[in-house]
Amino acid sequence: MKEYRNEIIIALVSIIGAILATWFFFFSIDEKKITVQSDLFSVVAPNPNALLCINRPSMLSKIILSDDYTKKIFATHLPPVFAKIIDKNPGIPFYLISYHEQGEVIYANATLEQAYQIADNILHPYFSSFDPKRTLIDKAEFTFYALPGNRFFVTYYNQGVWAASFSKKLLDEICLQQKIGQTALSDRILSQKKLMDRNAPLNLLIPAPSLDISVQINDSIRMGLGNGWVYADLFSSDGKLCCFSGIPYNAQLDSIYPIMADSVVRRLKSFYPNHNFLPQLSKDAERIYFTACLVQPDSVSR
């Protein structure tokens, strides 16, 4: 009987050992292979000046950034290393970029393996003159790439969220946001986020006051876009880059909307004086929609 008892104990120990080994194996696979699909908007560093959603990275890299005419619009707002990451890493289907006074941050949902692929295949060659330094801070992994002038490019990875910036402070704030688990974005931003078309290649969110668009209705009333945020869906139509947006419709302002559309075009021209934009208005019962397509000067003259 003792012999059978010993065999049963040995069998139980073996089974438990096998279960633990299997659990450890799949836990490791889970950590490396499975992306934790966090809502990237929930980890955005506080107080952004603008947000850019890249829903189709191939559209950005193959169409927009490959055309010298449209590339000029994005060149001053998209750090070259960000463009390189988006262009050379097709395994990640969505990127988010936030713009702040301290700099820009690029975000993605990624596996640990994908994070290491970005580091090994893109960032190490890009910053080839210096060896990166990795460090763990509260389970979050930071990688520092030293740059001339005592500057650093830093990447962050924790629980399926990958981010990178030239500002370590912004990444620290992302780390804090991930711990809190609650977005720092205002209701004004989140309300416009719901209106964006995530099927569009790109979405842009910007504060309405930064556009400084207003129309004088009479001697005492001036109409503008308010103090909230506005969205724009960016897409390609007949080879032209276009943006689409909408605001609540008021039938009493029918005569004002075309004037406001012209004001938007003039504002775009002030940002990009070497570019031309053709506007178009449409509406339904609730909203009026504005579309502007970028056209090259020679096509306008024809």
Total Cβ atoms within 10 A of residue 243? 21
The conformation of residue 41, written as its DSSP 8-state character, comes to: G
The predicted structure's pLDDT at residue 35: 38
Tell me: pLDDT of 1 over 60: no
Contact between 208 and 168 under an 8 Å Cβ cutoff? The reply is no
Q: Which residues contact 114 (CB under 8 A, 6 or more apart)?
A: 35, 89, 91, 92, 162
Partner residues linked to 210 by β-bridges: none
Contact between 243 and 202 under an 8 Å Cβ cutoff? The reply is no
The predicted structure's pLDDT at residue 22: 32
C-alpha pair distances (Å), 102 with each of 27, 72, 262: 37, 23, 33
Tell me: pLDDT of 121 over 80: yes
| Maximum mean pLDDT: which of 122-126, 153-157, 236-240, 290-294 | 153-157
The predicted structure's pLDDT at residue 298: 58
Task: List, for residues 57-89, the tens digit of each pLDDT value.
Answer: 887 766 666 667 677 777 778 899 999 999 888
The predicted structure's pLDDT at residue 163: 98
Residue 276: band (very low, low, confident or very high) from pLDDT cuts 50, 70, 90: confident
Average pLDDT, the chain: 80
Tell me: pLDDT of 116 over 80: yes
The predicted structure's pLDDT at residue 91: 85
Residue 91's closest CA among 124, 123, 116?
Answer: 116
Total Cβ atoms within 10 A of residue 167? 19
Tell me: pLDDT of 98 over 90: yes
Give the residue, 26 or 229, on which the prediction is more confident: 229
Tell me: pLDDT of 271 over 50: yes
CA 23 to chain centre: 35
